[in-house]
Structure 1
Amino acid sequence: MTVIARPEVTPAARWAFPQPTTSSLSNGLTVHTFDLPGQYVVALRLIVPLSVRSEPRESEGVASLMTRLLDEGTLEHDTEEFTELLERKGVAFGAGLSDGGLHVDVDAPASRLADALALMVAAIARPSFPAEQVRRLVRTRLAEIEQERASAPHRAARELAATFFHPDERAARPTAGSAETVSGLTREDVESFHATHVGPAGATLIVSGDLSGIDLDTLLAESFGSWTPGPRALPPEAEVPRRADDAVRIVLVDRPDSVQSEIVVAGPGPDRHVKPAWAPYPVLGFVMGGSPNARVDAVLREEKGYTYGMRSGFRPRRAGGMFVTSGSVRTEVTADALTILLEILASGDAGFTAKELADGVDFIVDTAPGRFATADAVAEEAAASILDGLPLDFTTTNLDRMRTLTTADLEAAYARYVTGEWTIVIVGDASAYADAIRALGQRVDVVPN
């Protein structure tokens, strides 16, 4: 009988995030190119520094409205023509607004890269903002606000922002605006905001995919090279939003007869610039509430059966951040679930085990090659670094630092931010548990849905 020797299993080789070739156009646009052989769908990501803090107070939501209108027509193509061109050329177009800026996302076959670049620059540099589309999207946003009110997770997120942040901070109010500020927005408001705040100077384009045989320099000169810089107001410097003076309290958003309660527990957290390193915080999120085996779900889901799942994690902003745990439980166990949850979150004070550290590090580090195996994933990660003002080797250096973490590092990082000064929001039938929640000894406020 032939005996086949068992293969030797060795640790995976060190993996590094791809590094781009960087260039600049004469109009001030920076271009980062990731040439990834075999990735025949090219991902384009444009990042324009922009802050919702630049919006006039009475026009909050205009930046989000402008972003949603970018694919609704250009000076060359009306709404229907632009949509048809995207479909015929096989171009996927999207745009969004985050804490760090405006991003435009385009994916297209490499063979259609010239068309994709032309459509992308037309949308960002020469949008037409048709009046009828402005009115339609204003109505859409107003309907969306009502839908958010009907959704317990969305309602909880809105109440959390309003409770956690100082009322003078833009972060305390919806990024896409409220009904009062959105309802009066006009085409002129959107066009003026675009002309004032959107331009190539300081913006960054990421090109990620198989670029063999493509003269990218020429394509960029013919497309984004035509984006003319004009007068542009730079966004304000990133700063940590102030927390509300009365943030440490429990807010019950009353939704009578609700069979579930949405619980959100939040405290301050770091941004990804934190010293000495960001590396401990994703691991802590995984250990506390990042998987069904994490501390939160091990008790509230697996042992108690109170929830289908709750998640914990550090949510960085461009400056500052939050540590948030959220999920839904059955109404009748709301008070008990909250009590247990707070005990679990406080358990970090007693330290973390070597197994928890190893499990968290292994999951994050060892899955990185798979997470960033496609052109769009590489482009998204690079865009996230740029939006946060981080170098493009941050992903690699962060993973390297993660490999060297000790349990003492986790304990120090957790103790630095998780102090038990919680902002707690519960959306559900307050009458079913308000008295039991008050018995916890913290300030409790009940507000209507």
Structure 2
Amino acid sequence: MRRSDQRPEVKAPPRWRFPDPTRLWLDNGMQLMACHREGQHVAAVSLVLDAPLNTEPVDVEGVATLTQRCLDEGTATHPGPSFAEALEDIGAVLGGSAGFSGSELSIEVPARNLGPALDLLAEAVREPELRADDVERHRRLRLAEIEQTLANSAHRAALGFRAATIPRRYRCSRMVGGSTESVSAITHGDVLSFHERHYRPDGATLIISGDLSGREFGQAASAFSTWTSPAEGYFSHEVPEARTPQCWLIDRPGAVQADIRLGGFGIDRGDPRWADVQVATHALGGAFLSRLNRVLREEKGYTYGAHLVNTPMRDGGLLSLQGSFRTEVVPDALSLARDLLDLTDAPITPAEVVDAVAFTTGVAPLRYSTAQGITDRISALVRDGVNVEFVNANFQALSLVTPESATQSMLELLPPDALTLVVVGDAASLHDELLAEGWPVVLAR
């Protein structure tokens, strides 16, 4: 064996691109998308329904959530437990959720059983039994879930920040699954009515990813092509606006730590500043050694973690510092956080831009390496009314971000003198101290 002293040439990796799905539209208005991924033998399927939560009657908010949760309790073809047994027989797992932009039903199944899985998925949305006893059981479960959510300080802070940032006239200012009052008012008839009116193929999108055989569109057409829409039609999505900045203190008597949300109304993916905000968010609070976590956790020891979270909606979004802090350090932590979010004298650096772009583009091949990852991303974009081409276009936009553009985007969205603050903690220990530090907090429920 000959030994060579010449080092092999290492070439740059090929540019990664998000897959472009094959598309087809059925005559009933339903869109089909398929992404073939060789070797992904577990297919991931998602059916996205264009049923935004602002279509719920105000007095029974949460009816979309109850409707979605009752879909797997039995169908006309497979009543009661036989539906779950049919799923189990083909190795399928059914899930779903209702969100502000629409409802979703998903299924994972071995690719060889995709056809039968699509048939069962079609049954769930077209002919669910929606029995009165199942509706009542899920209603009680949802009420218990609300109680548990409100007892959790972090969840309460997230809900409070949403309410403090978005005017109440918008559905997205309130809980996805409804309040105690609205869920208590939901009847069996409300669920039947919501399903009849909003579970419809026009505007629906079926996404399939996996090692596909080429027969998936035929199988989907067989399962869904005879699904029809009711006569009453289109429902528009709401376009929320920002509320004037608020400073709320939500009392948790005796709490030894406080949950904080500090930020404001953000942007959606259609905003030209989106890539700039991604970079700035990563630099400030998106990585372990980002500015917020480095100071508030590593240097000060005030918290186990402080993050800046960018949450887009279909229109607009939420941008906030999130963290739990010991009660006695909250005033100082907030002052430090406000200073760190103010980039006037400490702009984003070139090194931070490089690091943020490298992270975002570098993690993408791993994030989307599975059929589930691809389907989840496409379904999220569909719910928010964004073209799938956005993923690749955003990578190009990231390469154009400069320290100046990233800094400017954050100064525009989080002006230091117009931040919304929500603190969930012991009001007796925090109220006067926060006022003394210049936070005009008011007690809120």
Identify the TM-score tier after normalising by the shorter chain. Answer: over 0.9
**Structure 1 residue 113: deviation in Å?**
0.6
CA contact (8 A) 2:153 2:424 kept: yes
- Pick closer, same or farther for the CA change 1:395–1:348 going to 2, 3 Å: farther
CA contact (8 A) 1:195 1:232 kept: no
- Pick closer, same or farther for the CA change 1:106–1:348 going to 2, 3 Å: farther
**Structure 1 residue 2: deviation in Å?**
4.7
Instruction: Quote the residue 1:440 is aligned against.
Output: 437
Instruction: Quote the residue 1:284 is aligned against.
Output: 280
**Structure 1 residue 232: deviation in Å?**
4.1
Distance 2:67 2:107 in 1: 17
- Pick closer, same or farther for the CA change 1:319–1:76 going to 2, 3 Å: same
CA contact (8 A) 2:166 2:265 kept: no
- Pick closer, same or farther for the CA change 1:355–1:7 going to 2, 3 Å: farther
CA contact (8 A) 2:43 2:208 kept: yes
SS in 1 for 2:343: helix
- Pick closer, same or farther for the CA change 1:3–1:150 going to 2, 3 Å: same
Is 1:124 the counterpart of 2:125 in the alignment? yes
Distance 1:57 1:238 in 2: 14
Q: Structure 2 matches for 1:16-27, cutoff 5 A?
A: 16-27=17-28
Instruction: Quote the residue 1:390 is aligned against.
Output: 386
Instruction: Quote the residue 1:42 is aligned against.
Output: 43
**Structure 1 residue 231: deviation in Å?**
2.3
**Structure 1 residue 127: deviation in Å?**
1.2
SS in 1 for 2:71: coil
**Structure 1 residue 3: deviation in Å?**
5.9
Report the TM-score when normalising by structure 2: 0.95
- Pick closer, same or farther for the CA change 1:237–1:162 going to 2, 3 Å: closer
- Deviations, residues 242-282 of structure 1 (Å, cap 9, x unaligned): 333xx42321111122121111112121111102x521222
Q: Which moved more, 1:100-109 or 1:224-233?
A: 224-233
SS in 1 for 2:303: coil
Distance 2:85 2:338 in 1: 53
Instruction: Quote the residue 1:76 is aligned against.
Output: 77
Match of 1:272 among 269, 273, 277: 269
Instruction: Quote the residue 2:296 is aligned against.
Output: 300
Match of 2:254 among 250, 254, 257: 257
Q: Structure 2 matches for 1:160-175, cutoff 5 A?
A: 160-175=161-176
Distance 1:375 1:428 in 2: 42
**Structure 1 residue 383: deviation in Å?**
1.1
CA contact (8 A) 1:348 1:414 kept: no
**Structure 1 residue 150: deviation in Å?**
1.0
CA contact (8 A) 1:50 1:234 kept: no
Q: Which amino acid aligns with 1:90?
A: G
Distance 2:378 2:181 in 1: 36
- Deviations, residues 59-88 of structure 1 (Å, cap 9, x unaligned): 111111111111122122223111222222
**Structure 1 residue 404: deviation in Å?**
2.2
SS in 2 for 1:310: strand
CA contact (8 A) 1:42 1:113 kept: yes
CA contact (8 A) 1:284 1:313 kept: no
- Pick closer, same or farther for the CA change 1:4–1:151 going to 2, 3 Å: farther
**Structure 1 residue 162: deviation in Å?**
2.2
**Structure 1 residue 333: deviation in Å?**
1.0
Q: Structure 2 matches for 1:168-247, cutoff 5 A?
A: 168-212=169-213, 214-239=214-239, 241-244=240-243, 247=244
Report the TM-score when normalising by structure 1: 0.95
Q: Which moved more, 1:424-433 or 1:354-363?
A: 424-433
- Pick closer, same or farther for the CA change 1:79–1:349 going to 2, 3 Å: farther
| Structure 1 gap ranges (5+) | none
Distance 2:8 2:397 in 1: 30
Instruction: Quote the residue 1:358 is aligned against.
Output: 354
Distance 2:294 2:7 in 1: 36
Distance 1:138 1:226 in 2: 31
- Deviations, residues 7-63 of structure 1 (Å, cap 9, x unaligned): 444443211110011111122111111111111011111111111111111111111
CA contact (8 A) 2:165 2:265 kept: no
**Structure 1 residue 350: deviation in Å?**
3.2
Distance 1:102 1:216 in 2: 22
Instruction: Quote the residue 1:144 is aligned against.
Output: 145
Distance 1:42 1:118 in 2: 14
**Structure 1 residue 286: deviation in Å?**
1.0
Q: Structure 2 matches for 1:303-382, cutoff 5 A?
A: 303-347=299-343, 350-382=346-378
Distance 1:306 1:5 in 2: 53
Distance 1:47 1:20 in 2: 16
Distance 1:34 1:12 in 2: 23
Distance 1:200 1:143 in 2: 33
Instruction: Quote the residue 1:14 is aligned against.
Output: 15
Is 1:401 the counterpart of 2:400 in the alignment? no
CA contact (8 A) 1:198 1:232 kept: no
Distance 1:218 1:248 in 2: 52
Distance 2:139 2:268 in 1: 33
Distance 1:271 1:349 in 2: 27
CA contact (8 A) 2:30 2:203 kept: yes
**Structure 1 residue 442: deviation in Å?**
3.1
**Structure 1 residue 220: deviation in Å?**
1.8
Is 1:416 the counterpart of 2:412 in the alignment? yes
Q: Which amino acid aligns with 2:364?
A: A
SS in 1 for 2:294: helix
SS in 2 for 1:79: coil
Distance 1:27 1:236 in 2: 19
SS in 2 for 1:355: helix
SS in 2 for 1:279: helix
Aligned-CA RMSD value = 1.7
Q: Which amino acid aligns with 2:123?
A: A
